[in-house]
Amino acid sequence: METDFHEFVAARSAALFKGAFVLTGNREAAEDLVQETLEKACRKWRTIAAKDAPDAYVRRIMVNLANDRWRRFRRLATAPHPEGADPAAPGDEYGQVDSRDQLVRALQQLPMRMRTVVVLRYFHDLSDLEIGADLGVSPSTVRSQLARGIEKLRSQFPALSEPSPQRHTEGIR
């Protein structure tokens, strides 16, 4: 059983960290969240390993811990970058880091459940059914939270919300 847990940690800790980082918006807090999640999972590993989906169980632990932290340390959201900021050029690695930072800041402004749904969908590639099962809500609730969350994020990044120019393909064979 202990070996199974070590294998789970080796295989899933990077994905857990990515999700935790987006949930917390801070590297140190994400590391703490993952550590606390894995600590709780280790204590209950026999029960978790017997489940059909240990990933889902551990993700649920992480989401619950993040929600608890959010409630305890609720604070004003940090201000987004100025609107006049230049978008990153395709090869501009520093600009890409800046864009990623903007996205994390925008995610931090979403309500916790909405943020959790967005993270589970886009950072963990879960379906509506899987997210609903993880959070104990219906798939339609997941879809509505996701739609509202994406709309709020798009309002933060108007340039990304515009439809991409489509080529005129009518009459081309």
Whole-model pTM over 0.85: no
Q: What residues contact residue 4 under an 8 Å CB cut-off, 6+ apart?
A: 45, 49
Euclidean distance between CA atoms 135 and 115, whole angstroms:
12
With a cut of 50, say whether residue 77 has pLDDT above it.
Answer: no
pLDDT confidence of residue 143: 94
Question: Is 58 exposed, middle or buried (CB count within 10 Å of its CB: 0-12, 13-18, 19+)?
Answer: buried
With a cut of 90, say whether residue 142 has pLDDT above it.
Answer: yes
Kindly compute the dihedral angle of the four CA atoms of residues 9, 14, 18, 21, in this order, to the nearest 10 degrees: 70
pLDDT > 90: percent of the chain: 29
Span 86-97, average pLDDT: 47
Q: At 98, is the pLDDT very low, low, confident or very high (cuts 50, 70, 90)?
A: low
Which range, of 15-24, 78-87, 127-136, averages the lowest pLDDT? 78-87
Q: DSSP states of 49-84 as a string?
A: HHSS-HHHHHHHHHHHHHHHHHHHT--PPPPPPPTT
Euclidean distance between CA atoms 81 and 105, whole angstroms:
9
Dihedrals phi, psi of 87, to nearest 5 degrees: -70, 155
With a cut of 80, say whether residue 85 has pLDDT above it.
Answer: no
- Cα-atom radius of gyration of the chain, to the nearest Å? 19
Of 123, 149, 104, 113, nearest in space to 17 by CA: 123
